[in-house]
Structure 1
Amino acid sequence: MTKRALEAAYQSLITRSRLRPDPHQEALITRLANLQDELLATNPGSLPKPLPLLHQDPKPPPRGLYIYGSVGTGKTRLCDLFASTLPPTISHRRTHFHAFMNDIHHRLHLARQSPTYSGDPLIPIGKAIFAESRVLCFDEFQLTDIADAMIMRRLFGAIWQAGGVMVSTSNRHPDGLYENGLNRDVVLPFIRDLQRRCEVWEVGGREDYRMSGGGGGGGGGAGSQGGVGRRETFFVDERAFERSLGEAVQGKEVQRREIPVYGSRKLEVEGV
């Protein structure tokens, strides 16, 4: 039986000793490959056009995946592989969830500054997000901020209503999101929607691949294509860190830069 693109990419990493065989990861890879098939089967751009006289209702989008488990079990790397092997006909966005929410707050700020601003801007923002990316792949999905919690249901309601699909990693089960947060009852309807729209999948296993060097752990983060071959260094004291940092930036010019944060605010930093 011919392996699908995602399964072949995963097997290639094992063959090259970049990953070790892991039954928990293999089960998730199979499920992610099935989701890719489901996305292709319901992708408007890849479906044959129906006959003019034949009425055919569009297929509903598949359920996404909410992947959670202990740190170092390979969630990020497998999600990277999923995103990197999606067919080009399926638009997608792979990003850290915090960066995504920064983008949403920036769009909200721009919408409220518009002279034509009226109503709930989250609905058109959600539709615009879907128009850009049918599949949203998030790393480290979490809710720790009341400002984020207040907008989740309206924002993702618009994305899901348009046909968007979410694949996300997290260290928490959905029931643990925003636990003990202020006004948590506000976010509970979103958590219920999340579990209805996404299959909740736990990645088992107790080994932390980040520490064992087995190559199955978090890797390079969102958009890293799995972080294959990356070297990680752990500093045991501040002086060792300062020496390594000095060697890395030696001879380079320090520049002042601005990093955008929520709304119109910017953070000034110096770096090379």
Structure 2
Amino acid sequence: MSKSSLEAAYKTLLQRNRLRVDPHQANLVTRLASLQDELVNTNGNRPSHTPKGLYIYGTVGTGKSRIADLFSDTLPSHISRRRVHFHEFMREIHSRLHIARSASGYAGDPLVKIGRTIREESRVLCFDEFQVTDIADAMILGRLFGSIWREGGVMVSTSNRHPDGLYENGLNRDVVMPFIREVQRRCEVWEIGGREDYRMSSLREGAEGKRVETFLTDRRVFDERLEQTMEGQPLERVSLPVYGSRKVEVNAVPSGRD
């Protein structure tokens, strides 16, 4: 797909009233379209030609995740990518780390190999809700992402915090500071701007543009808001695995969403 694919998809959502005209979002779309173009025109097997990623931050509800989803969805099919919540990704890394350390003949730092494997699976890693709150994560981020970046991986992430605010006041924060500096070297830090929380404003507006309450409101209004939020996607029941062998049953989620 060409550079215009992301912008065309964004324009379609505007025309269908799935998104509102917002100059901050439009600027981000233009920047991400440029990154798509760079990815198409560089060799993923040559780490020295790796384009800079993008670290997108701003207040909640400003459309960061929605635009990042659009970026991932419109990447050309030959560019491997993975879109995942950062907490889920780190949980997976700890699981891989445990398996590696439990294997017979374990020696050295398995994070280098894990990072290389992650890069082989996906050239572009798109993270939602990038944050560092756990000392266990903080201790391994530098080595893990160092391996991914050395192999030519590109990171596009959304966060509510500027990189300088990651793991703020955390235990042994000095351990994670080299990683934070590397994030700012490997990624362009982009503030989306804007202060309106579209999640809340869309819930407060009825079909006729009137403000409505969604707590203990009538069923018709609730169903109407749910349909708009789900954008016509069918709902299905899913079972989500959590730590260990536990599962959480969710009655209704958009079909096809992880």
Please classify the TM superposition score into its range, dividing by the shorter chain length.
0.7 to 0.9
SS state of the match for residue 194, structure 2? Answer: coil
Identical counterparts, % of pairs: 65
Going from structure 1 to structure 2, the CA distance change for 1:58 and 1:195 (only over 3 Å counts) comes to closer
Relative contact order higher in (CA < 8 Å, ≥ 6 apart)? 1
Segment drifting more, 120-129 vs 58-67: 58-67
For 1:115-149, what per-residue CA distance to the aligned partner results, in whole angstroms no more than 9, with x for missing partners? Answer: 02110000000000000000000000000000000
Alpha-carbon offset, residue 270 of structure 1: 6.0
Indicate the structure (1 or 2) with the bigger Cα radius of gyration: 1
The alignment status of 1:173 with 2:162, answered yes or no, reads: yes
**Alignment-derived partner of residue 132 in structure 2:** 143
Which residue among 242, 245, 249 is the counterpart of 1:266? Answer: 245
Structure 1 length-normalised TM: 0.76
Q: Which runs of 4+ in 1 moved over 2 A?
A: 233-237, 257-261, 265-272
Counterpart Cα distance in 2 of 1:122 and 1:3: 35
**Alignment-derived partner of residue 116 in structure 2:** 127
Going from structure 1 to structure 2, the CA distance change for 1:32 and 1:267 (only over 3 Å counts) comes to same
Alpha-carbon offset, residue 37 of structure 1: 0.4
Structure 2 length-normalised TM: 0.80
Counterpart Cα distance in 1 of 2:134 and 2:182: 19
**Alignment-derived partner of residue 193 in structure 1:** 182
Ranges in structure 1 where 5+ consecutive residues have no aligned partner: 46-56, 215-232, 245-253
SS state of the match for residue 213, structure 1? Answer: helix
Letter paired with 2:88 = A
Which residue among 127, 133, 141 is the counterpart of 1:152? Answer: 141
Alpha-carbon offset, residue 206 of structure 1: 1.4
**Alignment-derived partner of residue 81 in structure 1:** 70
Alpha-carbon offset, residue 17 of structure 1: 1.1
For 1:13-34, what per-residue CA distance to the aligned partner results, in whole angstroms no more than 9, with x for missing partners? Answer: 0111111111101100000000
SS state of the match for residue 49, structure 2? Answer: coil
Alpha-carbon offset, residue 267 of structure 1: 3.0
Q: Is the 8 A contact 1:258 1:266 kept in 2?
A: no
Alpha-carbon offset, residue 161 of structure 1: 0.3
Letter paired with 1:33 = A
How many residues matched?
224
Which residue among 192, 196, 200 is the counterpart of 1:207? Answer: 196
Counterpart Cα distance in 1 of 2:78 and 2:241: 33
**Alignment-derived partner of residue 102 in structure 2:** 113
Give the 5 Å matches for 1:1-272: 4-44=4-44, 60-213=49-202, 234-235=214-215, 259-261=241-243, 265-267=244-246, 269=248
Report the aligned-residue RMSD: 2.5
Ranges in structure 2 where 5+ consecutive residues have no aligned partner: 204-212, 224-236, 252-258
Alpha-carbon offset, residue 96 of structure 1: 0.4
Counterpart Cα distance in 2 of 1:24 and 1:207: 11
Q: Is the 8 A contact 2:14 2:21 kept in 1?
A: yes
Counterpart Cα distance in 1 of 2:79 and 2:192: 25
Counterpart Cα distance in 2 of 1:213 and 1:157: 40
Alpha-carbon offset, residue 89 of structure 1: 0.8
Q: Is the 8 A contact 1:33 1:82 kept in 2?
A: yes
